[in-house]
Amino acid sequence: DDQVMVEVFAKSMLPPKSISVGGALLRSLVFPGWGNSYAKGGGAYWLMGIAAWGAAGGAFYFNNEAYNALEDYKDATDGETRDQLFTDAEDHHQMQQNLMIAAAAIWAVDLIWTGIQAGNVKRKNRTKLSMGYYYDPMVRKPMVSFTYRLN
């Protein structure tokens, strides 16, 4: 009767991709969607950045237009032209405010979403099963090990 005894040890040689929640939030602060792309490993999250920066750029443009219309209003002498320029300045100012609110809302939603996504990915990356190998000098043979974590 021959008996065979097998002992297996595992040790992970490659750690799982580490996601920093702070790093993801910092990326989303600079360019909305970048933090989600970092956390999830890609995706079309960059569209949020285009929308946010587009809204901010539009707000800057309409702010400039409102200023120009108001300056033209100050210089105008015709009553009808003055009324039209003042109305234009008010309309441009309202559009500028709406676009700034939209940009701020996009940024805020993206920061919250990125924090949630990055936190979920970080928790998910904890591996339960790991495998490794080493050389055991006692038996003078290479060994393979497997470890299963219950939590």
Whether the predicted pLDDT of 1 surpasses 90: no
**Phi/psi of residue 10, nearest 5 degrees:** -125, 140
Question: pTM of the prediction?
Answer: 0.66
59-91 confidence digits (pLDDT tens): 999 999 999 999 999 999 898 999 999 999 999
Mean pLDDT check: name the lowest of 17-26, 90-99, 119-128, 132-141. Answer: 119-128
Region 117-140: mean pLDDT is 72
Distance CA 124, CA 104 (A): 30
Mean pLDDT of the chain: 84
Amino acid in position 95: M
Helix (H, G, I), strand (E, B) or coil at 147: strand
Distance CA 107, CA 30 (A): 9
Amino acid in position 147: T
